[in-house]
Structures are given as C-alpha cells and as structure tokens.
Amino acid sequence: MKFSVVIPAHNEAKFLPGCLEAIKKAKSLHGTVAEIIVVLNRCTDQTEQIAIAHGATIVQEDRKNIATIRNAGARHASGDVLVTVDSDSLVSENLFSEIQLALEPGTYVGGGVRVLPERFSLGISMTWLILRVLLFITGLAGGVYWCRLEDFWAVGGFNESLPFGEDLDFAKRLRAHGRKNRRRFTTLRNAHIVTSCRKFDKFGDWCFFRLALLHGREVRQGLQGKSTAFQNRFFYDFNSTKAKDIAGAEKGTEI
C-alpha cells in the first residue's frame, strides 16, 4: 500500500520542518512507502527550499482557496491512499500503520484522527471540548483526512466553491459515499496529530468564542461569498509577509 501525503503550505518555514520530520519518522518506523507532496501557496520565505531538502514533490497553487490547494496536491498523487495534513501539525509514529489496518479489510472508507493541541489553557481546553462534542454528535472527524485515492475522486475531492469549512464538507460526502457499500467513516483512536496553537497565540486563547459571539455575521458573509475579510485574516493571509497581502486581510474588523 503506497501513501501520498498532501501538505498545503503558505509561508511555513517555521513549522514545515517538524511536520516533514514527523512524517518521515512514521514512514521509516513501519517501512511505509509514501510520497510527500507540498503545495506551495504564495510563499515568500524558505518553504520551498525546506520541502525540496526533505525530498518532497513540489506543486504550485497560488489561489486563496484551501480546497483548491489540497486538490492541486491530490492531482499529483500516485499512491493508493491519500492523506492530507496541515504543515503546522505533527503526525503520530503509527499513523500509516493504523490507516493501513483500517483500510485493508474494506470495513472503512476513510476518516480522520484524534487532534491534540500543543499546549492547553482554559480557553483552548473549552474550545477543544466543544469541538470534540460537535464531532461526536455529527459522527465526523478532522485533523488528518485519509482514504483511498479512488474514493477521494469519487466524491469530487474538496469542494472548491467553499472559502472555508471544506474539511467537514468533505468528511460528510466521504461518509455518504462509503455508506453505499457499507464502509464506515471513522476516527482512528490509536493515531493522532499534535497541532500548533498559533491562531490562539495570535488572536487569543478565547478567540473562537469571541468569533462566535461578535463576528457571526462576518463568517456568514464569507460562506455566502459576500466578503473575504474573515477567511483572509484567519486562513489565507495568516502567514503573509507581503504588505499587499496583509492589507487585504485587515479590511475586516479585527477579532
């Protein structure tokens, strides 16, 4: 079983080395055959050089749409199984072996993994608790998405019409696809990622609560395609170093 790991990267020189090293360690410990595909998105730092030094395949996609960026990487995948992971996350050493154990019997169509923050505070803990409850209620998962490449394209990949929230949308469609032949969507309980808390570091440990209470209208406008202020500031220009990129993100009200 060959894996293709797709990593979107916009100015990720700080976090990408750790992400790549964790993937390479997981590969070597279990003798996994896996290619790493880094999708460069408007990078102005050393992200490309770091990816090349780690032997990754490089793909360029400059549009401000995370679904488009992920799909661009998937189009270059040659493996049997597609895995998507963010560049500020560290995969557990058993990730590939756990995915293989889940997929080989044909019981599962795909899924996600447990997500652990790199640090805890009251605000972060409350946010994580609410997210875990919501994922439990909906039966969805997050963090890392994994499935056979043929199933990824059978559901059309990530929905490029969505400015954000493309991950849960993909999970819902993959789950529905699996139900057609009685394959389940699942969260791997024995595998996990440790993800950075950089958004909390920048916007505050209670930022998601303030977002829900004070900026719900801005989020709705983003989902409706009426404004790009929220997604620019919180996602697509989060690591921008160019003044023109930052200026576009600052048009909206700060969190």
Q: Domain holding 103: CATH number?
A: 3.90.550.10
**Quick check: 255 pLDDT over 60?**
no
Do the beta carbons of residue 106 and residue 1 sit within 8 Å?
no
Share of the chain above pLDDT 70, in %: 91
Residue length of the chain: 255
Tell me the pLDDT tens digit for each residue of 44-81. 999 999 999 999 999 999 999 999 999 999 999 999 99
Confirm whether 204 is domain-assigned. no
Lowest mean pLDDT among 58-62, 207-211, 221-225: 221-225
Cα(89)–Cα(21) distance, integer angstroms: 11
Please compute the mean of the pLDDT values over residues 146-154 and round it to a whole number. 98
38 lies in a domain? yes
| pLDDT reading at 215 higher than 90 | no
In this prediction, residues 142-169 reach a mean pLDDT of 94
C-alpha torsion angle, residues 114, 39, 230, 131 (rounded to 10): 0
Mean of all residue pLDDT scores within the chain: 89
Residue 136 placed within a domain: no
pLDDT per residue as tens digits for the range 74-130: 999 999 999 999 999 999 999 999 999 999 999 999 999 999 999 999 999 999 999
Q: Residue 104 domain-assigned?
A: yes
Does 155 fall in a domain? yes
Cα–Cα distances (Å) from 143 to 83, 168, 187, 196, 214, in that order, read 10, 10, 10, 11, 26
CA-CA distance, 101 to 217, in Å (whole number)? 43
The domain in which residue 85 lies consists of 2-122+141-197
> What was the pLDDT predicted at 231?
76
Q: What beta strand segments (E) does the chain contain? A: 2-9, 33-40, 57-60, 81-84, 89-91, 108-117, 142-148, 184-195
Count the domains in the chain: 1
Is 26 a domain residue? yes
